[in-house]
Amino acid sequence: MPIATPEERARYQALVRRLTPGRPVVRNTARAFVVGGLICELGQVIQVLFVRYGGFKPTEAGNPTVAVLILLAAIFTAIGVYDRFAQWAGAGSAVPVTGFSNTMTSAAMEHRSEGFVAGIGGNMFKVSGPVIVYGVVSAFFIALIRYVLEHL
Amino acid sequence: MARLGRSTWALGERQVAVIATSTVAGTLEAQGPLSDSFDLSLNDDRVGQDSWERAEQTMFRRAAEIACEKAAIRPNDVDLVVGGDLNAQLTSFYLGLRPLARPMLGVYSACASLCEGLAVASLAVATGFADVVLVGTSSHTSTAERQFRYPTEYGVQRPPTAQRTVTGAGAAVLARGRGPWQVTHATIGEIADFGVKSPWEMGAAMAPAAFDTLRQHLADTGRSLDDYDLVVTGDLGRVGLRILRNLLVEHGMASPAAAEERVNDCGAMIYDEHQPEVFSGGSGAACSTLVTFGHLFREMERGRLHRLLVCATGALLSQVSAQQGDTIPSISHAIAFERGD
Amino acid sequence: MSAWTFLWAFVVGGAICAIGQVIMDTTKLTPGHVMSILVVAGAIADGLGVYDPLIKFAGAGATVPITSFGNALVHGALHEAKVHGLIGVITGIFEVTSAGISAAIVFAFLAAVFAKPKG
C-alpha cells in the first residue's frame, strides 16, 4: 500500500486537490499589479529627476534609475523587511529589478557565515543565476539570428 | 518485551520510563498557544551566536542540559545519547551535543526523527544495553530555510499550504522501570510515496505515511483508535491533518467525530493561525518534540491524558532529489506513551 | 515624454508584474523560472523590435521590470555587432546592463558586510 500504484496516486491527488486551499489568485494578482505599478512609478519619477537635474539624456536615464532602485532594494533587504513585503506583494516585488537586487543581497547576506570568499563570493549568484544565464544565452541567440538575417 | 505483528515493538508496561523532559522554544513558538509549556523560551532566535547553525546547536545543548538537570543526573551518568535534526550530516546533534562527550547515535528521518530516536533509545533501555539514555531533536526555521529552500531574507511568496519550520529543541531522559511517563510501544514505519512533488505540500506528502503507520500500529497491537485518548501526528499541518482525517474516515478506521476529537497534529497545535507567516502550521524535527515533551506530557501529568500515540512524520527529500524531479517519499514512526506513576 | 507616460508607467509595469503573478499562482513554476521566462521574453521582444517602442510609451513601466534586462542584453549585442561585425554579438552583451549588474554586486556585497539576516 505505501508505494502507490498510478491509480492510487491519481485517487490520492484528487483527494489532496479537494482538500487543499487554493491560492488566492485574484487577490495576489491585484496586489502584484498595484505594487509593481507603484515601483515602476517610483522609477519613472527618479528617471525624470535624473533627466532634469542629472544631465542625463532621456534614453540614458534608465541606467542610473535602475541603479538607485537596486540600492533601495538592497537596503530594505538588509534591514530585514523586503521578505515581509514580498509575501504581501508577490510578483509585484519580484518582477521589478528590485527583486533581482533582493535575490543577490539576500544570498550574499545569508552566506556571510561561510566567509568572504566561499560564502559571500561563492553564493551571491545562487538565486539570481538563472536570470543572468538565460538572459545572456537568449540574447546571444537572438542577436545572432537578427545579425544573420540582416546580412543575408 | 515482544514483537507484535510486522512492525511493532512491545516494550512492556513498566519497562521503559521517561524520567524527565526538556523543551527550548524559539521566539514564535514562545508566543504561540503553548507558550506556558516550555522550560526555556528564547527572545532571540540567534541566541547571540554568529550563525543560525550555531544557534540551533546551542539550543540543542541547552535542552540536553536542562533534561539532565530535571532528571537530577549529570551528563556523565548518561550511557547513550540518541538524536537527530534536519541539518546535513546531523551537525546540530553531533556538534551541539559534542560537549557531553558520551556515546552517540545520530538518527535521521527528517521530522520523524523524534520517534525514530525514541524507538532506538527505548530498545537500548529495554534490552539492558543502556541504563540511562538521553534522546532529543532540534530544528531551526533559518537553518532549514537556508538548506532546503532559500536565503532567509529572500522575498518569495509562500502559498497557504506552506509550513513554518519550528525553531527549538527538546530532549528526554529514558531509564529502566517506572517513571512519570512510560514508553510502551514503538512501531517502525515504511516509506509511503503517493507522488507528491511540491515542497510546498509537505502535509499532503506525509499524510499517507501517518495513515499507514497508524493502521499498522493498530493492527499489530490489536488496538483501536478509541484505546487512545489522543493520537497526534508530527507535522502534517492543518491541510495534511484534514487529509489524514479524511483517509481515516474513508477507510473506516474512525468515525468523523472520532477523527476530529481523537486525532490532532503537533504542527497545527504549536502555532495560532494568526501568528505571522505560519500558513498551514509548524514542521521540523523539533515540532513533535516541543509539543509532546511540553504540552502533551503535562496533560498526562495532570491526568487529562492516559494513553497517547505520537506518530511523527518525515518527508525524505533532499534539495537535489527535488531538483532532479523526484517525488517526495515520507515515513512515520509511532511511539505509544502511557501515564506512569 | 509626456505626462501620460506617468500613467502608462504604472499600468504597463503593473501589468507585467500581474502576468508574472498569474504564472506563479497557476503553474508549478518557481519564481526563478518565471523571472527567467520574463527575461527571455524581453530579449525576444527586442529581437522583434517591439520593446523600444514600449519604453518610449511607458517609460519606467518598461525599463524597471526584469524584462528590460533581456532587452538591454540584446541591445548591447546588436550595437556592438553593428560596429564590429559578428564578434560583437559576444563582446557587447553586458555593455548596456553594466549599471544594473555592477550595482547589484556592489550593494549586495556591502549589505553582507554590514548587515546580518534576521531570519
Q: What is the pLDDT of residues A11-48, one digit of tens each?
A: 999 999 999 999 999 999 999 999 999 999 999 999 99
**C61 to A37: CB separation less than 8 angstroms, yes or no:** yes
CA atoms within 13 A on the CB side of B319: 10
**B16–chain C nearest CA distance, Å:** 39
Cα–Cα distance between B140 and A149 in angstroms, integer? 56
Task: Name the residue among A19, A87, A105 with its Cβ closest to that of B246.
Answer: A19
- How would residue B14 be classed by pLDDT, with cut points 50, 70 and 90? confident
Chains near A with 3+ CB pairs less than 8 A apart are B, C
**B157 to C24: CB separation less than 8 angstroms, yes or no:** yes
The whole-number average pLDDT for the span A1-20 is 92
The whole-number average pLDDT for the span B12-26 is 95
- How would residue C1 be classed by pLDDT, with cut points 50, 70 and 90? low
From the centroid of its chain, how far is CA B246? 22
pLDDT digits (tens, 9 = 90+) for C9-54: 999 999 999 999 999 999 989 999 999 999 999 999 999 999 999 9
Cα–Cα distance between B137 and C102 in angstroms, integer? 43
DSSP state of A118: I
pLDDT digits (tens, 9 = 90+) for B161-208: 999 999 999 999 999 999 999 999 999 999 999 999 999 999 999 999
In one letter, which amino acid is B238? Answer: R
- C chain contacts of residue B145, beta-carbon cutoff 8 Å: 119
The whole-number average pLDDT for the span A91-109 is 97
Around Cβ B55, how many Cβ atoms within 10 Å? 26
From the centroid of its chain, how far is CA B48? 26
Task: Name the residue among C9, C17, C70 with its Cβ closest to that of A32.
Answer: C17
Does a structural domain hold residue C76? yes
**Does residue B229 surpass a pLDDT of 80?**
yes
Q: Does the beta carbon of A35 lie under 8 angstroms from any beta carbon of chain C?
A: yes
From the centroid of its chain, how far is CA A107? 13
**B157 to C118: CB separation less than 8 angstroms, yes or no:** no
Q: Does the beta carbon of A23 lie under 8 angstroms from any beta carbon of chain B?
A: yes
Cα–Cα distance between C118 and B52 in angstroms, integer? 10
pTM of the model: 0.95
- C chain contacts of residue B156, beta-carbon cutoff 8 Å: 31
Does a structural domain hold residue C24? yes
Q: Cβ(B63)–Cβ(B136) under 8 Å?
A: yes
**A136–chain B nearest CA distance, Å:** 23
**Does residue A59 surpass a pLDDT of 90?**
no
Around Cβ B326, how many Cβ atoms within 10 Å? 13
**A132–chain C nearest CA distance, Å:** 8
Arithmetic mean of pLDDT over chain C:
94
Of chain B, the percentage scoring pLDDT greater than 90 comes to 99
**Does residue B326 surpass a pLDDT of 90?**
yes
**C13 to A25: CB separation less than 8 angstroms, yes or no:** no
- The complex scores an ipTM of 0.94
Cα–Cα distance between A143 and A146 in angstroms, integer? 5
Mutate to test the interface with C, among A16, A31, A34, A41 (most CBs of C within 10 A): A41
- Amino acid A1: pLDDT: 60
Q: Does the beta carbon of B49 lie under 8 angstroms from any beta carbon of chain C?
A: no
**A96 to C17: CB separation less than 8 angstroms, yes or no:** yes
- How would residue B142 be classed by pLDDT, with cut points 50, 70 and 90? very high
**B154 to A106: CB separation less than 8 angstroms, yes or no:** yes
Cα–Cα distance between C47 and B193 in angstroms, integer? 46
Does a structural domain hold residue C91? yes
Arithmetic mean of pLDDT over chain B:
96
Report the number of distinct structural domains present in chain C. 1
- How would residue A152 be classed by pLDDT, with cut points 50, 70 and 90? confident
Q: Does the beta carbon of A145 lie under 8 angstroms from any beta carbon of chain C?
A: yes
Range of the domain at C64: 4-114
3-state per-residue secondary structure call for chain B: CEEECCCEEECCCCCEEEEEEEEEECHHHHCCCCHHHCCEECCCCCCCCCCHHHHHHHHHHHHHHHHHHHCCCCHHHCCEEEEECCCHHHHHHHHHCHHHCCCEEECCECECHHHHHHHHHHHHHHCCCCCEEEEEEEECHHHHHHHHCCCCCCCCCCCCCCEEECCEEEEEEEEECCCCEEEEEEECCCCEECCCCCCCCHHHHHHHHHHHHHHHHHHHHCCCHHHCCEEEECCCHHHHHHHHHHHHHHCCCCCHHHHHHHEEEHHHHHCCCCCCCCECCEECHHHHHHHHHHHHHHHHHCCCCCEEEEEEEEECCCHHHHHCCCCCCEEEEEEEEEECC
Task: Name the residue among C28, C31, C119 with its Cβ closest to that of B52.
Answer: C119
In one letter, which amino acid is B20? Answer: A
The set of residues, in sequence order, having a beta carbon less than 8 Å from that of A125 and lying 6+ positions away, is A104, A107, A132
From the centroid of its chain, how far is CA C75? 11
Count of CB pairs separated by less than 8 Å, A with C? 263
Cα–Cα distance between B19 and B121 in angstroms, integer? 13
- B chain contacts of residue C116, beta-carbon cutoff 8 Å: 46
pLDDT digits (tens, 9 = 90+) for B303-320: 999 999 999 999 999 999
The whole-number average pLDDT for the span A125-148 is 96
Task: Name the residue among A25, A40, A147 with its Cβ closest to that of C64.
Answer: A40
- How would residue A132 be classed by pLDDT, with cut points 50, 70 and 90? very high
Q: Does the beta carbon of C3 lie under 8 angstroms from any beta carbon of chain A?
A: no
Does a structural domain hold residue C119? no
pLDDT digits (tens, 9 = 90+) for C93-106: 999 998 899 999 99
The whole-number average pLDDT for the span A115-131 is 96
- How would residue A2 be classed by pLDDT, with cut points 50, 70 and 90? confident
The whole-number average pLDDT for the span C52-75 is 95
Domains and CATH numbers, chain B: 2-176 (3.40.47.40), 184-339 (3.40.47.40)
Does a structural domain hold residue C67? yes
DSSP state of C116: -
Q: Does the beta carbon of A46 lie under 8 angstroms from any beta carbon of chain C?
A: yes
Name the residue in chain C with its Cα closest to that of A28.
C21
